[in-house]
Amino acid sequence: MARQQDIRLVFQHRLKAAREQLQLSQKELGIRAGLDPFVASTRINRYELGVHQPDMATAERLASALSVPTAYLFAGDERLARMILAFDQMSVADKERLLKTVEGT
């Protein structure tokens, strides 16, 4: 059986990696996600360090600001995370074809 990862650690890692991929500062990400500019940098820093965890609405706003599906930020398996990103970029028709193939229908 695969070892379970702490979802908080997964979130911290993916949040920081996605932010750095876009070359955003912590403050820029926080502002894009609708956080108060005076606390944006500190809040993102604390999320990345695991000092605090955002509620689901905030996690969704962070994902939107990073242009990634929310599920990506919580995917414990690297291959699954890559699949989530790839699936998100596909057309609706391609998504349906892939699902039919995977589901065997």
pLDDT score for 71: 97
Q: Please determine, for residue 28, whether its predicted confidence score (pLDDT) is greater than 90.
A: yes
pLDDT score for 105: 75
52-73 core/surface letters (b: 16 or more CB in 10 A; e: else): eebeeebbebbbebbebbeebb
Q: Please determine, for residue 4, whether its predicted confidence score (pLDDT) is greater than 80.
A: no
In the chain, where the domains are located: 7-76
**pTM of the entire predicted model:** 0.88
Alpha-carbon distance 53 to 75, whole Å? 16
Q: Please determine, for residue 43, whether its predicted confidence score (pLDDT) is greater than 70.
A: yes
Q: Which numeric CATH code is attached to 7-76?
A: 1.10.260.40
Q: Please determine, for residue 3, whether its predicted confidence score (pLDDT) is greater than 80.
A: no
pLDDT score for 1: 39
